[in-house]
Chain A
Amino acid sequence: MGELKILTKHRGEKDTHTLAHYKSVGGYEAAKKALSSLSSEELIDMVKKSGLRGRGGAGFPTGMKWGFIDRKSPKPKYLVCNADEGEPGTFKDRVILEEFPHMMLEGMIIAAKAIDAHKAFIYIRGEYTLSIDRVQQAIDEAYQAGILGKNCLGTGYELDMVIYQGAGAYICGEETALINSLEGRRGHPRLKPPFPAVSGLYGCPTVVNNVETFSAVPHIIKNGAEWYAKMGTPKSTGTRLFSVSGPVKRPGVYEIELGTPLMYLINELCGGMANGKKLRGIIPGGSSVPILTAKECETANMDFESMVEHKTMLGSGAVIVLAEDTDIVETTYRLAEFYAHESCGQCTPCREGTHWVAGLLHKIKEGHGTQKDLDLILSLTVNMEGGTTICPLADACVGAVRPAIEKYRAEFEARLTDSTHKKQVA
């Protein structure tokens, strides 16, 4: 366990974003193999056996997702790459988009063959202008080299790719909201079922996968499912990119084998806490997941199973570090405010709940709150979770707020006007 560079093996080398570099390290060999000698069934089977799970947040098994597509459907099938990286704390897809765009394109070509898609869209968040430029350059190079187009890699397979620029809405990272956005609508998540595999983009069978998920695929096809499944833990195979932010010595993106202890990532790879500060807690999987206290961090491993044991999630792989001097009331408020801002407004528990929670937290952090306000937040969160809404944005707000209050309650209470903790903590 520890650092293991599969996707980012060539990071730091010159011009890794170019076709010339990618080809020099064996790029597009897997796509050629997939298009010329492997069937859709074989590809889906390989990805299933590899154990690859979605790297966007939900961790859904990728091969299974591809398998849901009815390839006999007379409708066109669409492939969509979710590059709308927006979960606070997350900046790992940027590394692939800016430095290894061809790896992602190759994964998409293989996925397209697996689901019989001939048109693919890459939905990139609007602010990522360098990513958009780099991916566009990569697509242009791929067309010129005959990798994309009417006769991909000389195999007769036809595939077109189009970039779509998002316009600043976190919710579009949710796959059905992303599909609506791609269709020129407001980014409102859709009711499921029907799932995108049945009725997605333009009402056609659609697969949406994350940037990093696609980028793992060429390696699996090239080296085999067994090779991939050997890395990591039984239910969390392979490696993953983690974005570490906050007061550590070397924040940044690290690729580690799944199952690596959280504290190895923090102490060994990130060099430990900056300025000799003590660790206060870590949000291990992006802003939506429950925070771990410093003590819980000691036993947590970066895999799906260990995160479940610790009642949190691996999410988008964003590790947000909080130090002893971090104001947890303020950080919790900032997150609640974020969800209130990004709620699309379709469902009452989310539209109203996120604003109520953010408003009450604002009141508390400004020193005007009471015990009743704190309890009201907790009771509101009960009505916002567990399937009362179309998508999990409200649940994400609950994940960010409730465990923070439960685990650091004294800090919140110290701000209340009727606090009994005030003297001790303040």
Chain B
Amino acid sequence: MSYVFSETAEARFQKIKDIFPDKRSLILPALYLVQRDKGFVDQESMEYVAERIGEPISLAHVYGVATFYTMYNKKPVGKYHIQICENISCYIMGNDDVMHHVCKKLGIEKGETTKDKKFTVSGVQCLGACGYAPMMQINETYYEHLTLEKVDEILNGLE
């Protein structure tokens, strides 16, 4: 069955569809709606977004946009997407140890998803929490001032 917006996504789309002077601006918010529905964006959903927004927006344009921005997952991720900053301040404060620890604990490499589809680990660029490093982001939540014990506690607490 081909993809359509869920009820919540549709309601949200109806709410925002007229607030921009140009409907082209709906592409980024619409892709977020897809991602909230499916966990990622694929060609089928991009085609749907292009159709919903309508001419002159094509699949090619939506594809170009979706692939430009890193926050749109182009393939499925685990229930918990763990993103660990690899940039300068976090590096100085020991985020490499956090990355190593998380990967070892979950038995996967950076960029992989556990077999049970529960966790995905990604290395990412600066998340704007440099003064509270080391840090990681799990789904939409920031975890700051990490220690390896704290990381264990956080991961063990995820159902």
Q: Which residues of chain B have a CB within 8 Å of any CB of chain A?
A: 19-22, 24-29, 31-32, 57, 64-65, 68-72, 86-89, 91-93, 125-133, 137, 140-142
Which stretch, A121-129, A298-306, A377-385, A413-421, touches the partner chain B?
Answer: A121-129
**Minimum CB–CB distance for B98 against chain A, Å:** 15
Of all A-B residue pairs in the complex, the 8 with the closest CB atoms, nearest first, are A167-B69, A245-B130, A168-B71, A184-B27, A168-B70, A245-B89, A251-B131, A184-B24
A89 to B90, alpha carbons, bound, how many Å? 9
Q: Which of A126-161 contact B (CB under 8 A)?
A: 126-130, 160
Q: Is the CB of B21 within 8 A of A341?
A: no
Chain A contacts of B70 at CB under 8 A?
A: 167-169
A322 within 8 A of B: yes
Interfacial residues of chain A within 33-71, with CB under 8 A of chain B in the complex: none
Within 8 Å CB of A326, what residues of B?
92
Interface string of A273-287 (1 = CB under 8 A from B): 000000000010001
Whether B131 and A245, one on each chain, are in contact in the complex, defined by CB atoms closer than 8 angstroms, is yes
Q: How far is the CB of A159 from chain B (nearest CB, A)?
A: 14
Contact A331 B88 (CB under 8 A): yes
Distance from A350 Cβ to chain B, minimum over Cβ atoms (Å) = 15
Cα distance A320–B52 when bound, in Å? Answer: 45
Contacts of B19 in A (CB 8 A): 160, 162
Name A167's contact: one of B20, B31, B93, B131 (CB within 8 Å).
B31
Distance between A136 CB and nearest chain B CB, rounded to angstroms = 12
Residues of A within 8 A of B (CB): 76, 85-91, 94, 119, 125-130, 160, 162, 164-170, 181-187, 202, 243-247, 251-253, 283, 287, 318, 320-323, 326, 330-331, 334-335, 338, 341-342, 344
**Cβ–Cβ contact A127 & B25, under 8 A:** no
Query: Do the beta carbons of A253 and B131 come within 8 Å of each other?
Result: yes
Whether the pair B88, A88 counts as a contact (CB closer than 8 A) is: yes
By the criterion CB–CB under 8 Å, are A165 and B128 in contact? no
Tell whether A338 pairs with B125 under 8 Å between CB atoms, given A126-B71, A184-B24, A202-B22. Answer: yes
- Given A167-B71, A169-B68, A184-B27, CB of A334 within 8 Å of CB of B131: no
Closest to A167 in B: B69
Distance, CA A326 to CA B91, complexed state (A): 9
A343 to B109, CA, bound (A): 26
Q: How far is the CB of B147 from chain A (nearest CB, A)?
A: 15
Is B88 in contact with A287, judged by CB distance below 8 angstroms? yes
Residue from A88, A126, A167 in contact with B87 in the complex, judged by beta carbons closer than 8 Å: A88
Interface hub of A125, A166, A167, A341 (most chain B Cβ within 10 A): A167
Q: A88-B87, A245-B89 are in contact. Are A184 and B25 (CB under 8 A)?
A: yes
Measured between alpha carbons, how far is A228 from B58 in the docked complex, in Å? 50
- Contact between B126 and A320 (Cβ–Cβ < 8 Å)? no
A88: contacting residue among B22, B28, B93, B130, CB under 8 A: B130
Whether A86 touches B126, Cβ cut-off 8 Å, given contacts A184-B24, A244-B131, A322-B92, is yes
**Bound-complex Cα distance A331 to B125 (A):** 13
Question: Is the CB–CB distance between B92 and A91 below 8 Å?
Answer: no
Q: Are B131 and A184 neighbours in the complex by a CB distance under 8 Å?
A: no
Given the contacts A91-B129, A165-B32, A251-B131, A187 and B89 also touching, CB distance less than 8 Å: no
